[in-house]
Amino acid sequence: MTKNRFSGKHVFIFGGNSGIGLAAAEDFAAEGASVSLTGRSRKTLDAAAEKTGALAIQSDMADASASASAIKTAVEQNGPLDVVFINAGVGGFAPVDQVTEQFWDDIQNINLKGAFFAAQAALPHLRDGGAIVFTGSIGSVLGIPGNAVYAAAKAGLRAIARIYAAELAPRHIRVNVVSPGPTETPLFYRNPGMTDEAVEGMRGHMREVVPLKRIGEPREVARAVLFLASDEASYITGIDLFVDGGSVEL
């Protein structure tokens, strides 16, 4: 990295212990930020802390009180927030006639409800002029069979982000969404109801349908996150940026 866009800034990442969140944590730290991050696995949190020097807090975003507690701990140790990246999420595929209430709640409680309350918890501690970035999904705008519950959560998140952007504009806090296409992250292997063979079949299909004929890397999405969180994006708020190899646009 040759830039130092986040020197002296405190960046908080929900779900920063693997995949896109970890790549972003590494890049934020490389550009001078103090990083605090959360995750559910103590093992991967410890590894992330070793890689990035971050304050790693064990927390489940499905629990709004845990998110608020994690924010409080980070602020006490690293000071007020300048950037909040809300990245934690879970996947899940099921045909509409097989969706149960429990399946619906498990996904919505993290991907939508949890994300909303994580952002809300950060607001009192976020400096005016700061930035919030949510991780969305191209699934929010595509009719992918089996993806109804996940897509509903991410579509809701797009709406929430735009309203956050409008309400926080007087504080000059910018709020944006980064929506990855198929990306090599552990989320591929955390899809309830899907066998390993089904996951590999899905990955092969995705490679074929992406115009660039490959699956993205976490750092390719993280670069977009850092851009939207930086002063380089000072006149950008309320957008949903697709990082998807052309899957939606082409």
Which residues are identified as catalytic?
Answer: 150
Whole-angstrom distance, CA of residue 113 vs CA of residue 106: 10
**Largest Cα–Cα separation, the chain:** 51
Per DSSP, helices labelled H in 32-113 are 42-52, 64-78, 101-108
DSSP 8-45: T-EEEEET-SSHHHHHHHHHHHHTT-EEEEEES-HHHH
Cross-strand pairs, 10: 34
In Å, how far are 115, 123, 156, 225 from 160, measured between CA atoms? 9, 14, 6, 18
**3 C-beta neighbours (distance < 10 Å), count:** 13
Whole-angstrom distance, CA of residue 108 vs CA of residue 97: 18
Distance of CA 213 to the CA centre of its chain: 24
